[in-house]
Structure 1
Amino acid sequence: MPQKLDAAAVRVWCAGALEALGREREEIDAINVYPVADGDTGTNLYLTVESAATAVEAVFAAQEFAARDFAAHAAEPGGAEPETPAVIRAMAHGALLGARGNSGTILAQLLRGIAERVAVGGGLAEALARAAVLAREAVAHPVEGTVLTVADAAAAGAAAAGPGDAAAARAAYEAAREALAATPARLEVLARAGVVDAGGMGLLAVLRALVAAVTGETPAAPARVPGHVHGQVHGPVSAPAGPCDAEGPAFEVIYLLEADDPAVAVLRARLDALGESLVVVGGDGLWNVHVHADDAGAAVEAGVEAGRPHRIRITHLTGTTAPVPEQVQRAVVVVVPGEGLAGLCAEAGATTVLARPGEPPASGELVDAIRRAHAREVVLLPNSAELRHTAAAAAEQARTEGVRVALIPTRAAVQGIAALAVHEPGRRFDEDVVAMTAAAGATRYAELAVAEHRSWTTAGVCQAGDVLGLIDGDVAVIGTDLTATAVAVLDRMLAAGGELVTLVLSADLPDGAATAAKLERHVREAHLAVDTVVYESGHGASPLLIGVE
């Protein structure tokens, strides 16, 4: 066995950690009492490592393919093992993309810290130290007796070990094992439940796999604490009354976010005021955001203001005791860019506000629409990034008049259509808002427009009269023909996957029906198993709006 964390060892480590968490995840779930007793820490860690392992295997598969291709054109075959930096970075990036829950998000940041140092030739002890620092910085309010404490102990143990990765791995595991056993003494909620920290236990499984990958030796499993024997907990495990009890936020909100560092700093402050269990990990423009909050829509809206959130997951936290609102009349107020969509939304029961080109509605118009809805609960869909502040002001005004308003930060009409499609007035208000927010967040949007003059764009220089394909607000395609440009935009959007394409054509578009038919046929032939729906937006709207869910 290599006594160093090289590319092969990282691959073995990932596979071993995934196998270990697969064996232990039910046991880890069973002792999950902090920060919320929702019994999913083991599962979340498993899914996080599964994403990391998939990314690592993809690097090896690509290298093996390249080696075979090289061998077919060269006298000597090439090597089939990728470089260690590529593998360790893939592991960390895969974990970031697939991070689930509080502990999974922290584990992703630990792996990022390890990758930072190993990728530049650092030893394992140095990498574990960096990992512990980054993980603690990612948590808004670190608590001792958690996975952070176990990570700190592992780093300290590795630093005190002899030279080499093998010695560092063994020492890190032993120190982490002792720290895990002591977590009940450092966190009262664990002591009352008679268990160790679930996230720390999961990290220990990952460290045990690390020792096996580097040394070829599998260390002994940790001793069980009282009340935690053979994977069973004596009596129901729950968080007793106290600062960590079930009286917490109703929803867990997680999303990937494309944003720069200054925007993320502002986002941290906003989410910290909005909820708890805040963890923001990542860097280099891509972040994984995790928070527990009662207002899930506001947590997503904060992400929209910071950058581009996607892969939004909103989960109702089991075991919480958030008050259940009384079932009352509810309405949806939606801003639409044309009469055609106004009719469509009205048929679905929504109150509509028409946004004409160059004449966005003022906050007073939105307040009037909320009043016209004659409902005690209103969901507001602005369908434009430019209306963000206007809609927020209208919502605040309506709240002062006794109306409960939820603002879902939809940025395009197709996102509003997706949200309205899952609206169910019979659900609890919060659950309805969560479902609508998730549907809108899962819908990428595009718009085709005609350039009015020559200008620079993110896709290059356009001339007056060129057809511009904007994806999520940025010019991605420049063409001369609307149908051809739309095809290029669709192909780009569907390259990342999709199940449903929504096409919204302007009534002013010549041969609109023929254009729709061509685009439907292209989607059917080039992207199997993707459905298409077509609507008309009316006069004065953009020539074509596209949504991909």
Structure 2
Amino acid sequence: MPQPLDAAAVRRWCRNALDAVGRAREDIDAINVYPVPDGDTGTNLYLTVESAAQAVAAADTAAPTLAEAARAMAHGALIGARGNSGTILAQLLRGMAEVLAAGPEPAGPDTLRHALRRAAGSAYEAVAHPVEGTMLTVAAAAADAAERAGGGADEVMAEACSGARRALAATPGQLPVLADAGVVDAGGSGLVAVLDALDAALSGRAPDASIRDRLSLGRTGAPRAAGAHPDAHCAPVAAPAELEFEVIYLLDAPDAAVPALRERLDALGDSLVVVGGDGLWHIHVHTAEPGPAVEAGIEVGRPHRVRITALAAEAPRRPDRAPRAVVSVLPGDGLAGLCAEAGATTLTVRPEEPPGGGELAAAILATRAREVVLLPNDDALWHAAAAAAEQARADGVRVAVVPTRSPVQGLAALAVHAPERRFDEDVVAMTAAAGATRFGELAVAERQSWTTAGICQAGDVLGLVEGDVAVIGGDLAEVAGDVLERMLSAGGELVTLVLGATAPDGLAARLEAQVRGSHYGVDTVVYEGRQSAPLLIGVE
């Protein structure tokens, strides 16, 4: 059923886009060939969308209007933009936000058409030397298709997405380097995913899971190698070999000072993109002179969040790093203490404030280890963890993400961790231990909802097995016993019970007695996790 283009739609759009770009991230990275084949376009787009989504989620606490949600999205993308493609995406979102914020709520089809046109126009203006066959072309095609479409906002957006996909499929015919590599434009692929996410938010349908097909990645053949495709939206003005650094920074400066800054930066390098306005700007340039590029910003304002990254094919070696570390993301300080005692670096989080890719990458780099195993311990953190690993690898760290879906799987993985083993062997052993651990959880329903076990009401106790609701009841201890029995029906040797902050007295003793009475030879261990979920269960 079609949905209005209001603040709620912007929130859905951001959530959909984060999931879509997260699922497509590796495919997009794999087709990154020009101007620098560093294989990070998908990761940069993911981190940019993640920053936008986090800003909208923060604004959501105050029940924002469409204008407020759109501005929050654009501001979040601006301050969190990564790479050339991420910077252009930030400007596209800013252009849309300018129109949506000035129009009615909900926005109608005419406002959406205007927003898409403004997005494309402002992106072309932000790029020093626009090149066709990139995400700029895809954005313009989406706006063209929208202007030809009739009907409501949902129909306009559907046509815009169709136009974007057609333009994406045609990019190899516009850039020879794409045709030579047998790929479509990476930045344009990411933009298609973002536009499709808005289409899903307005149409009421679930986001399409077949992202690879929708991005038309296979149109001209499979990519030749990982790290192949263009983050190129600017024509080169110097030989690629001369452009050794990517310089990115936020700049507080008056709008009137920016034209002169553009000219100076354009003379220093390639891939120049300057986006923003109203005193806050995001600067991106590839240059062999990073010092003068930053100094140019200092002369007109205050640069901050400065990032200078070598564009060399190989990451620099860091001989002062420790050999290996494990980073474990955990929902309670009790669990964190337990894992810290076992030698892990822990990141304690709250379910309502999940860490982003940048925070996870910072935790990886803070270990100062040459090799890091990351345990996300939550399905919802998978994309952020994968993006964080890519960031850390660019800094010379060898990172493996073990796909732990629950803290009890993380405990099982950590139990077999052996730093004296070869890295690959250690990761395989930890992954096998996590995979051999079935996991369950108890939660309390916040509202009436459909579940895999039927309809639950607010206040009902939910028993989840492997992430799906298996039991609905009114008594926490009874539901816990039922879940435990279901998990042990397939056998097991060890039961792990992690008590949450709200677990009732005597719960652990009751469950231990249940195991002893009905399952001979099965051991039980109990930990005080102090997480928000009343109980976590693991069966190995």
> TM-score, normalised to structure 2's length?
0.53
CA distance in 2, matches of 1:239, 1:172: 24
- Within the candidate set 156, 180, 187, 2:168 is matched to 180
What is the one-letter code of the residue matched to 2:149? A
- 2:297 maps to 1:309: no
What are the Cα deviations for residues 359-406 of structure 1, in whole angstroms up to 9, with x where unaligned? xxxxxxxxxxxxxxxxxxxxxxxxxxxxxxxxxxxxxxxxxxxxxxxx
- 2:129 maps to 1:141: yes
Task: Determine what percentage of the aligned residue pairs are the same residue.
Answer: 62
CA distance in 1, matches of 2:56, 2:250: 20
- 2:274 maps to 1:280: yes
CA distance in 1, matches of 2:134, 2:306: 26
Q: CA deviation at 1:4?
A: 2.6
Counterpart for residue 7 of structure 1: 7
CA distance in 1, matches of 2:141, 2:229: 25
Structure 2 residue matching 1:213: 3-state secondary structure:
helix
Q: CA deviation at 1:163?
A: 3.4
Q: CA deviation at 1:131?
A: 0.3
What is the one-letter code of the residue matched to 1:234? R
Q: CA deviation at 1:167?
A: 1.3
Counterpart for residue 201 of structure 1: 189
What are the Cα deviations for residues 268-322 of structure 1, in whole angstroms up to 9, with x where unaligned? 000000001000000000000000000100100000001000000110013399x
Q: CA deviation at 1:36?
A: 1.7
Counterpart for residue 38 of structure 1: 38
- Within the candidate set 78, 92, 105, 1:110 is matched to 92
What are the Cα deviations for residues 453-508 of structure 1, in whole angstroms up to 9, with x where unaligned? xxxxxxxxxxxxxxxxxxxxxxxxxxxxxxxxxxxxxxxxxxxxxxxxxxxxxxxx
What is the one-letter code of the residue matched to 2:21? L
- Within the candidate set 214, 219, 224, 1:234 is matched to 224
What is the one-letter code of the residue matched to 1:7? A
- 2:10 maps to 1:20: no
Question: In the alignment, is the contact (CA less than 8 A) between 2:13 and 2:197 conserved in 1?
Answer: yes
Summarize the Cα distance change of 1:226–1:213 in structure 2 as closer, same or farther, 3 Å threshold: closer
Question: In the alignment, is the contact (CA less than 8 A) between 1:239 and 1:245 conserved in 2?
Answer: no
- 2:252 maps to 1:262: no
- 2:217 maps to 1:224: yes
Structure 1 residue matching 2:173: 3-state secondary structure:
helix
Structure 2 residue matching 1:247: 3-state secondary structure:
helix
Q: What is the number of equivalent residue pairs in this alignment?
A: 299
What is the one-letter code of the residue matched to 1:223? S
Q: Alpha carbon RMSD of aligned pairs, Å?
A: 2.2
Summarize the Cα distance change of 1:278–1:320 in structure 2 as closer, same or farther, 3 Å threshold: farther
CA distance in 2, matches of 1:246, 1:278: 14
Summarize the Cα distance change of 1:245–1:265 in structure 2 as closer, same or farther, 3 Å threshold: closer
CA distance in 2, matches of 1:158, 1:248: 41
- 2:74 maps to 1:92: yes
Summarize the Cα distance change of 1:141–1:52 in structure 2 as closer, same or farther, 3 Å threshold: same
What are the Cα deviations for residues 98-140 of structure 1, in whole angstroms up to 9, with x where unaligned? 0000000000000001001111116211100000000000000
CA distance in 2, matches of 1:210, 1:238: 28
Question: In the alignment, is the contact (CA less than 8 A) between 1:275 and 1:294 conserved in 2?
Answer: yes
Summarize the Cα distance change of 1:235–1:102 in structure 2 as closer, same or farther, 3 Å threshold: closer
> TM-score, normalised to structure 1's length?
0.52
CA distance in 2, matches of 1:178, 1:265: 34
Q: CA deviation at 1:15?
A: 0.5
Q: CA deviation at 1:236?
A: 5.8
What are the Cα deviations for residues 306-340 of structure 1, in whole angstroms up to 9, with x where unaligned? 1000000110013399xxxxxxxxxxxxxxxxxxx
Structure 2 residue matching 1:292: 3-state secondary structure:
strand
Q: What residue ranges of structure 1 are gaps of 5+ in the alignment? A: 64-80, 322-549
- 2:136 maps to 1:152: no
- Within the candidate set 173, 178, 197, 1:190 is matched to 178
CA distance in 2, matches of 1:266, 1:154: 32
Summarize the Cα distance change of 1:25–1:245 in structure 2 as closer, same or farther, 3 Å threshold: farther
- 2:281 maps to 1:291: no
CA distance in 2, matches of 1:113, 1:235: 34
Question: In the alignment, is the contact (CA less than 8 A) between 1:7 and 1:87 conserved in 2?
Answer: yes
Structure 2 residue matching 1:263: 3-state secondary structure:
helix
1:41-440 mapped onto 2 (5 Å cutoff): 41-61=41-61, 63=62, 81-121=63-103, 123-217=111-205, 218=207, 221-226=214-219, 228-229=221-222, 233-235=223-225, 238=228, 246-319=240-313
Counterpart for residue 331 of structure 1: none
Question: In the alignment, is the contact (CA less than 8 A) between 1:106 and 1:281 conserved in 2?
Answer: yes
CA distance in 1, matches of 2:216, 2:169: 8
Structure 1 residue matching 2:250: 3-state secondary structure:
strand
Structure 1 residue matching 2:241: 3-state secondary structure:
coil
What is the one-letter code of the residue matched to 1:274? L
What is the one-letter code of the residue matched to 1:199? G
Structure 2 residue matching 1:144: 3-state secondary structure:
coil
Q: CA deviation at 1:227?
A: 5.7
Structure 2 residue matching 1:119: 3-state secondary structure:
helix
Structure 1 residue matching 2:190: 3-state secondary structure:
helix
Question: In the alignment, is the contact (CA less than 8 A) between 2:138 and 2:167 conserved in 1?
Answer: yes
Question: In the alignment, is the contact (CA less than 8 A) between 1:107 and 1:203 conserved in 2?
Answer: yes
CA distance in 1, matches of 2:97, 2:178: 31
CA distance in 1, matches of 2:310, 2:32: 16
